[in-house]
Amino acid sequence: MRTSEQTFPADFTFGVATSAYQVEGGIENDWAEWERAGRLKEPHARCGRAVDHWNRYEEDYRLATAVGATAFRISLEWARIEPERGRFDEAALEGYRERLLKMKAHGLTPVVTLHHFTHPTWFHRETPWHSAQSVEVFRRYSRRCAALLEGLDARVITFNEPMVLLLGGYLQGAIPPGIADGALTMKALENLVRSHVVARRELGEKLGRVETGISQNMLAFAPDRWWNPLDRALVRLGGQAYNHAFHEALSTGKLRVNMPGVATARVDIPEARDSAEFVGVNYYSRAHLRFVPRPPFIEFKYRDTQGRGLTDIGWEDWPEGFLQTLRDVKRYGKPVWITENGIDDRTGTRRPKYLHTHLAQVLAARAEGVDVQGYLYWSLLDNFEWLEGWGPRFGLYHVDFDTLERKPTPACDYFRQVATGRKLVAPL
Ligand code: BGC
């Protein structure tokens, strides 16, 4: 590698990522209901006060700057902002604005997600994503969000991982709203694309040009049996649907999903054409797909193909797939932001190496001409990990879930070294 390829330019952004429900605490929404219904892996687990970021935000901004971060990704909690349909909570809006102003004062550029998996409790009952009204409801919410972002120069992510929401919430029924229906999934997908478009329009009207995009969970896919044509077809069709259908709709205005027997969509949404300023990539791992002769026809597994050991949550550590993913999004011709990348490492010992190997792929992609402009580590802090509850630890900072004390893991030093020195050196 040439030296220039070992170096991040001065305008490359290093930052950290969080989401409201996972860190703030004290939120009543569809996930809180899901927990009370005993739907987590550990039926008694509760998010509750999370890691109290709502009160400890200033401490957390300091922790972020201490590792050299200059950007901080949060999400706005819709349930706080619009607890009843059509009633907006001014105190919550003001609360977010205050926090974002403080964030800026700490030298952190806000990256703001409007929707990160959670909904107000009324949403699924009154205007679920498969209903046409969902688009108008999201437009109104976005309008309020736009007003609170005035003058902040925030980068905006309308939806975090819409395909994860749809796969988990509409196809498998494992997360709220717990629907398992291929046709409704596709209707919901279409409305999410439309909602992105109207939200971006509201942001633009209020704020002028705003860098707006989505964060897409992107997996490197491989056939479980390399020689099996059905496994290979799944990789092709599944990879296209999961990784690209949404990005592609925002680029071309054509929404295409072709998963025979599972879900299909063929809708033209001309107003979605060229409706993102950047491509947001959340990359974690590789998955092997295997055809099984009964619905849903797909078996999905993580395998430790390299003997590196699965991560603690059970995912393959596969930095090579990061480069493949970044090459793959070059087709959209837009700047790329890594809006999440990270490891569940409960002892904190593997994270520096994970960072090193994954950042090396970012440099390799840049050397190939992929315009990657920023890297946000998931996550600043250990936090509430959805169905997995309190087991996983993705944080640069370890959080004692009893005392809520934050303590640096060994990756903090390493992250600071790279973010401030701009050189990718191997961890000690
Ligand atoms: C999500 C985060 C989650 C992380 C680790 C992403 O899918 O956006 O909310 O905590 O991955 O699972």
Per-residue pLDDT tens over the stretch 255-276: 999 998 899 999 999 999 999 9
Please write the tens of the pLDDT for every residue from 184-208: 999 999 999 999 999 999 999 999 9
Please report, for residues 20, 119, 160, 171, 359, the alpha-carbon distance to residue 29 in angstroms, rounded to integers and kept in the order given: 11, 6, 17, 21, 35
Distance CA 353, CA 410 (A): 10
Distance CA 35, CA 410 (A): 33
Helix (H) or strand (E) holding 78: helix 78-81
Residue 18, ligand 1, Cβ within 6 A? no
Looking at the CA of residue 217, tell me the nearest atom of ligand 1: 7
Distance CA 74, CA 16 (A): 9
Alpha helix ranges (H) inside 339-397:
351-367
Residue 344, ligand 1, Cβ within 6 A? no
pTM summary value: 0.98
- pLDDT in the model for residue 2: 45
Higher pLDDT, 225 or 428: 225
Q: Are 233 and 262 in contact (CB under 8 A)?
A: no
And the tokens for 56?
Answer: 């400890």
The residue nearest atom 5 of ligand 1, judged by CA position, is: 385
- pLDDT in the model for residue 5: 63
If you average pLDDT over residues 300-314, what whole number do you get?
96
Looking at the CA of residue 383, tell me the nearest atom of ligand 1: 10
Helix (H) or strand (E) holding 98: helix 90-105
The residue nearest atom 7 of ligand 1, judged by CA position, is: 217
Helices 90-105 & 133-148, crossing angle to 10 degrees? Answer: 50
Residue 268's φ and ψ, nearest 5 degrees, are -95, 125
CA 294–ligand 1 middle distance (angstroms)? 29
Please report, for residues 50, 58, 132, 345, the alpha-carbon distance to residue 47 in angstroms, rounded to integers and kept in the order given: 5, 21, 31, 20
What letter would DSSP give residue 172? S
- pLDDT in the model for residue 91: 98
Domains of the chain: 13-216+317-329+342-421 (3.20.20.80)
Looking at the CA of residue 19, tell me the nearest atom of ligand 1: 9
- Which residue from 378, 382, 384 has its CB within 8 A of the most atoms of ligand 1, so it is best to mutate? 378
End-to-end CA distance of the chain: 20
Residue 282, ligand 1, Cβ within 6 A? yes
Residue 216, ligand 1, Cβ within 6 A? no
Within 13 Å of residue 287, how many CA atoms lie on the same side as its CB?
18
Please write the tens of the pLDDT for every residue from 393-409: 999 999 999 999 999 99
Residue 251, ligand 1, Cβ within 6 A? no
Distance CA 190, CA 202 (A): 19
What's the one-letter identity of residue 101?
L
CA 228–ligand 1 middle distance (angstroms)? 31
* Per-residue H/E/C for 267-304: EECHHHCCCCCCEEEEEEEEEEEEECCCCCCEEEECCC
Residue 160, ligand 1, Cβ within 6 A? yes
If you average pLDDT over residues 387-391, what whole number do you get?
98
Alpha helix ranges (H) inside 208-341:
229-239, 245-252, 320-328
Q: Is the Cα dihedral 10, 98, 75, 27 positive or negative?
A: positive
Looking at the CA of residue 344, tell me the nearest atom of ligand 1: 5
The residue nearest atom 10 of ligand 1, judged by CA position, is: 385
- pLDDT in the model for residue 346: 98
Distance CA 93, CA 79 (A): 11
Q: Residue 335 in 3-state DSSP?
A: coil
- pLDDT in the model for residue 1: 44
CA 322–ligand 1 middle distance (angstroms)? 16
- Which residue from 165, 175, 216, 386 has its CB within 8 A of the most atoms of ligand 1, so it is best to mutate? 386
CA 313–ligand 1 middle distance (angstroms)? 12
Best CA proximity match to 160, nearest among 202, 241, 216: 216
Mean residue pLDDT across the chain: 97
The residue nearest atom 3 of ligand 1, judged by CA position, is: 385
Please write the tens of the pLDDT for every residue from 34-54: 999 999 999 999 999 999 999
- pLDDT in the model for residue 368: 97
CA 136–ligand 1 middle distance (angstroms)? 27
- pLDDT in the model for residue 145: 98
Judge whether residue 98 has pLDDT over 80.
yes
Best CA proximity match to 66, nearest among 381, 338, 400: 381
Q: Are 254 and 286 in contact (CB under 8 A)?
A: no
- pLDDT in the model for residue 3: 41
If you average pLDDT over residues 140-152, what whole number do you get?
97
If you average pLDDT over residues 16-27, what whole number do you get?
99
Residue 185, ligand 1, Cβ within 6 A? no
The residue nearest atom 9 of ligand 1, judged by CA position, is: 19
